Amino acid sequence: MTKKTPKTTSKKSKERSEPHARTRAAHAQETAEDYVEAVFDTVQEKGECRVLDLARHFAVSHVTVSRIVGRLKQEGLLETAPYRPITLTAKGNRLAKRSKKRHQIVLEFLLSLGVDQKTAEIDSEGIEHHVSEATLAAMKRHLKTRH
């Protein structure tokens, strides 16, 4: 056997695989973050949040929303009952505030780079979920010094 490559996962390849594993973990949290944000905003704006409000917000069918709301309820982030409005639990409220804060910083950061408003809103919606505490801190520094 020539054995140019190790059979087991090398230290180097483990390092390379970690970013992808982290990205998958971020995507697993993404729906929860976007949903509690949306519930928070909708309640603020129109007093209550309904399944159809979220369906319109995300541009998906009410069926998709209904199922996801059920799961997030199981996870203790949302409260709801059949044909009733959706509210945030204390836990959901904390996640919403944390997520909104991070989202806002990412958005302002992109704007500070000179990205136009619409593009900044689009890109920040995806980027926010992949911004670690360290990167968020760096963005805050940039906003304070350069702005």
Q: Which helix (H) or strand (E) holds 16?
A: helix 11-46
Stretch that binds Mn ion, among 5-13, 71-79, 86-94, 97-105 (CB under 5 A): 97-105
Q: State the Cα–Cα distance between residues 35 and 48, nearest whole angstrom.
A: 14
Candidates 58, 67, 48; CA nearest to 125 is: 58
Candidates 135, 57, 142; CA nearest to 108 is: 142
Stretch that binds Mn ion, among 35-43, 77-85, 104-112, 135-143 (CB under 5 A): 35-43
Residues 7-46 that bind a second copy (CB under 8 A): 9-10, 13-14, 16-23, 26-27, 34, 46
Among 30, 41, 108, 125, indicate the residue that binds DNA (CB under 7 A).
30
Amino acid at 144: K
Stretch that binds Mn ion, among 4-12, 38-46, 83-91, 119-127 (CB under 5 A): 119-127
CB 142 → DNA: shortest distance, Å? 31
Residues 88-147 that bind DNA (CB under 7 A): none
Q: How far is CA 5 from the centre of its chain?
A: 38
Q: What's the Cα-to-Cα distance from 78 to each of 24, 26, 40, 64, 107, rounded to whole Å?
A: 23, 20, 11, 16, 26
Q: State the Cα–Cα distance between residues 41 and 104, nearest whole angstrom.
A: 13
2 binds, among Mn ion, a second copy, DNA, none (CB under 5 to 8 A by kind): DNA
The footprint of Mn ion (CB under 5 A) covers 34, 37, 103, 125
The footprint of DNA (CB under 7 A) covers 1-2, 5, 7, 24, 28, 30-31, 50-53, 58-64, 66-69, 71, 80, 82-85
